[in-house]
Amino acid sequence: MPRPKQPSSTLIKGIHKIRQVLHVDNKLPRAGRVIDGRHFAIIPGPVNTHHHLYLTLTRAFAPAADAEFFDWLRALYPIWARLDEESVYSGALSGMAELLLWGCTTTTDHHYVFPRGHSQLIDVQIQAARRAYGPRCLAHGNGRRRALPGP
């Protein structure tokens, strides 16, 4: 079965930022350079493909600061066992603000800590993403996946 034809569009780009996207139906200005982008995707900024946003909450925890990996986990798991919706929301908002400061427009979070009674932590991250800047965000962990639709 043939794939449906995708609508084409023309990207009008300024220096260092996308200025406008015009569809073929529109009257197009003369281009100085044309790039065939049928087999490419345009990504509007750096993409972070692996994050643990809630870790922003414990980054400066002194007993874990200089620890080796397993000692670091042993120091932090008792704290993470007390995560709730408010703390995950705050950590996600803080982590995404840091990503934004570096120009990151898309992120994927690998959340895997679900203390008993707090099964909605992925949904809370999505709420934080919508508030932070509306980036595309995929939060997942423990088989729970939620995608944030793009703007």
Amino acid at 118: H
Q: Whose structure tokens read 């042993």?
A: 74
Beta-carbon contacts of residue 102 (< 8 Å; ≥ 6 apart): 46
User: pLDDT tens digits, the chain, 151 residues: what are they?
Assistant: 454 444 555 555 555 666 666 665 556 667 777 777 777 766 667 888 899 999 999 999 999 999 999 999 999 999 999 999 999 999 999 999 898 888 887 888 888 889 999 989 999 988 888 887 654 555 555 544 444 444 3
Q: 17 pairs with which residues across the strands?
A: 14
Q: Which of 132, 133, 118, 49 is nearest to 88 (CA)?
A: 118
Whether 53 contacts 109, CB under 8 Å: yes
Query: What is the SS3 assignment for 143?
Result: coil
pTM of the complete model: 0.65
| Cα-Cα-Cα-Cα dihedral sign, residues 134, 140, 144, 147 | positive
pLDDT, residue 56, reads: 94
